[in-house]
Structure 1
């Protein structure tokens, strides 16, 4: 289905903000999974609780975005 880096620009600002504010999150809550599923017009393969475990690649990408936000200041739409 792709990676977080591919979808980042299509995610709504509230979802991106949540991800940058929670860069250590390993399992995404269902509200975030739903927002991503809406963007990709598919299903990420979440568990029975509608949560999703992020891949190492996706966690690294989110941590880099969070680090960029700290360096650049607010403005997740970059």
Structure 2
């Protein structure tokens, strides 16, 4: 089964940014699932509605990516830049 952490660097940067900008989201909407699958050429094993539910492990990975972006000044894809994700601290509550 494909895991978000294993394909992160191959995911479209716009999708990466959406995921990081929506920290409360536990499901990837069908339209974004379609973009990811077409980009990586693999299935995300979506549910009957075409949505992909993040596992607990994936949510931990995404939280770490948000934190790295916030504290280290990295963009979604890992390049240097200064963007603060103000919603990231909501995950710590």
Give the TM-score range, shorter chain: 0.7 to 0.9
Indicate the structure (1 or 2) with the bigger Cα radius of gyration. Answer: 2
Say if 1:23 and 1:59, in contact at 8 Å, map to a contact too.
no
Instruction: Give the TM-score normalised by structure 2.
Output: 0.72
**1:48/1:76 Cα in 2 relative to 1: closer, same or farther (>3 Å)?**
same
Q: Which has the higher contact order (CA 8 A, sep 6+)?
A: 1
Output the CA distance in 1 between the equivalents of 2:75 and 2:47. 32
In 1, the alpha carbon distance for the partners of 2:76 and 2:44 equals 23
Q: Which runs of 5+ in 1 are unaligned?
A: none
C-alpha RMSD of matched pairs (Å): 1.6
Given the two structures, how large is their TM-score scaled by the length of structure 1? 0.84
* Paired residue total: 78
Which residue matches 1:51? 51
Segments of 4+ in structure 1 off by > 3 A?
none
Matched, 1:42 2:42: yes
Structure 2 stretches lacking a partner, 5+ long: 79-93
CA distance in 1, matches of 2:31, 2:23: 16
